[in-house]
Amino acid sequence: MDTQQEKHNDSIWWLFLETLSDEFINQTGFGIYAHITPLDVHRVYIEFQQNKSPLNHFARDYVRSYV
């Protein structure tokens, strides 16, 4: 994998973490790791990659189903 692709993948990962954490904060008052483990975050990321929804919709729906 070339460096450009790795940077792109890293950017998506960080955007995913930030968006999901922001959604947890908005709905519960606490960030992502107050609710789920790092392994669960990775599992949810894989689920997001397989989903066709935009990230903000996926995050909102995931947190709603979690809470």
**Which stretches of 1-67 are DSSP H helices?**
3-28, 38-50, 55-66
- pTM for this model (two decimals): 0.86
CA–CA distance, 53 with 7 (Å, rounded to integer): 22
Per-residue model confidence as pLDDT tens for the chain (67 residues): 578 888 888 899 999 999 999 999 999 999 999 999 999 999 999 999 999 999 999 999 999 999 8
